[in-house]
Structure 1
């Protein structure tokens, strides 16, 4: 090997080491991120609670017939979630319902499936999980068999467990094309998945997963028709809400759609519509995952804008 070739070889080795170190750094960063997550519990009724951690809010109901989990966040958090469930006095998870397919709601599926949980979800959740999904530059590979829903539905199903009827209600495309609303009829609790973000961000409508901004309004209408002033509503993200909170959210989304739709009919461009600030003044965090202008652009695109 001459000096030049030796230098090139050493350079390649150095690059490989650097890339390997960067990859290990990413893995360690993720491990550190989840290692620091604390699962917090809020009891809503004697048999229904919500767990907050990293990712979508988790609903839990338990009793003599077994424990039902709604969503399961990320795989590294499964042990912590199982511990939080046990601290409620509940048995290990027997049934798991996914409100949609996104990884911050289904990341623990494989772990819980291998532990014996029966996984249920909308038909389109399984369809998306068995195939590669793309959103921009983000690619999600197919899920392993143990992570897949084994019971699926279009309109929904009912579970008669622990002294009450638990309804899984399939929704028209909203956040995605596979959303489910969960209604505990006796406990008067509703879990809306990511069709409802309570104050922490503007709505995320995943158009690449068949989402539709008008469907977000329809999902809110569905839940509002089931709710009363005493109903506790679990959003996909954010604190537990009331019917009044959900009504305000529904009004916001509907009004923003109306403003954007009117501006589009007047021939305004997306930049001109953003300059109008149609999402301002609703009391939603402007530094959340979805910014005001980002939601306006989603509305514009969902309504057919180019």
Structure 2
């Protein structure tokens, strides 16, 4: 994992979050001059990407926003998420290094720019795009994400998913039964998991940030309670040897998923208890409800105070 870790550090250094903790909300508590979306896009344009092979012909590309899963075989290649569009040349090169077979499918785990803004070029390269039906809805409209201080415009027609499902979808490809499952509102309103049973590898996307506090997008139907529910489902549905691809962070396992779920539940309990007592946002943030977890989970985009705010917002 050394190359993967170096790519992650390069990306963090480029965004400034290793030292400055630039991404924070809301504005009245945590001032920022530039939307983190702009900062992250600019960083992705500079950051290298790297490939880590897992098992069962599945690899992970990291360095362009969310982690990208790649499944290669006799019939071609399948991607899980497309990264940020400014990284397309680097991702294309990485894909060619994995396999010379044609690109056939792209599965979107949700609509966010760091996972789906690459949709148009991936479709142009030959991929049919599969997604939960709300992902299509979100990608076709203008969405203002208040906590990112950014307004997203609809994707071009070529980037819109054409194979849609509501709750479950099965795809037979490269002699593998690929299973997609909709969580319900969690990180957004359209998050799914993608499971490769033969390899026992699951991509849970942004329902799991391995070693980091997660973002919850309330502007597009996200929910702290749904995020907790998704984390609990993830722990229950996998085995001790399952390889877990998170949306952000290093490749994980069941034990790390369990630690993440425990953190979410404890912080939510602390914040919700105080909110029920009538304490204000500033009072709750000042009480440092994440303090015991900050050393482990507070070293990426979202710091402890920011996560306390996100939990308070939906508690």
Q: TM-score, normalising length from structure 1?
A: 0.85
The 1-side partners of 2:158 and 2:73 are apart by 25
Q: CA deviation at 1:35?
A: 5.1
The 2-side partners of 1:34 and 1:286 are apart by 21
Conserved? CA contact 1:231–1:243, under 8 Å: yes
| Aligned counterpart for 1:92 among listed residues 102, 105, 122 | 102
| Aligned counterpart for 2:224 among listed residues 213, 217, 223 | 213
Conserved? CA contact 1:170–1:181, under 8 Å: yes
The 2-side partners of 1:295 and 1:30 are apart by 19
The 2-side partners of 1:139 and 1:54 are apart by 20
Q: 1:90 to 1:276 in 2, by over 3 A?
A: farther
Q: CA deviation at 1:37?
A: 2.3
Q: CA deviation at 1:266?
A: 2.0
Conserved? CA contact 2:117–2:155, under 8 Å: no
The 2-side partners of 1:253 and 1:35 are apart by 32
1:223-247 C-alpha deviation (Å, 9 max, x unpaired): 2222111111011010001100000
1:116-149 C-alpha deviation (Å, 9 max, x unpaired): 2100111111101111110123111111100100
Is 1:104 the counterpart of 2:114? The answer is yes
Q: SS of the counterpart of 1:196?
A: strand
Alignment of 1:106-255 (within 5 A): 106-136=116-146, 137-199=149-211, 201-255=212-266
Q: 1:88 to 1:302 in 2, by over 3 A?
A: same
The 2-side partners of 1:57 and 1:31 are apart by 15
Conserved? CA contact 1:157–1:168, under 8 Å: yes
The 2-side partners of 1:144 and 1:155 are apart by 25
1:89-127 C-alpha deviation (Å, 9 max, x unpaired): 252321000111011101110011122210011111110
The 2-side partners of 1:277 and 1:300 are apart by 12
Q: SS of the counterpart of 1:250?
A: helix
Q: SS of the counterpart of 1:193?
A: strand
Higher RCO (C-alpha under 8 Å, 6+ residues apart): 2
Q: Which runs of 5+ in 1 are unaligned?
A: 1-28
Q: SS of the counterpart of 2:180?
A: strand
Conserved? CA contact 1:122–1:170, under 8 Å: yes
Which 10-residue stretch deviates more, 261-270 or 112-121? 261-270
Q: TM-score, normalising length from structure 2?
A: 0.83
User: What is the aligned-residue RMSD (CA, Å)?
Assistant: 1.8
Q: Which residue of 1 aligns with 2:284?
A: 273
Conserved? CA contact 2:75–2:101, under 8 Å: no
The 2-side partners of 1:184 and 1:248 are apart by 23
Conserved? CA contact 1:202–1:284, under 8 Å: no
Which 10-residue stretch deviates more, 275-284 or 178-187? 275-284
Alignment of 1:21-40 (within 5 A): 33-34=43-44, 36-40=46-50
Q: 1:296 to 1:85 in 2, by over 3 A?
A: same
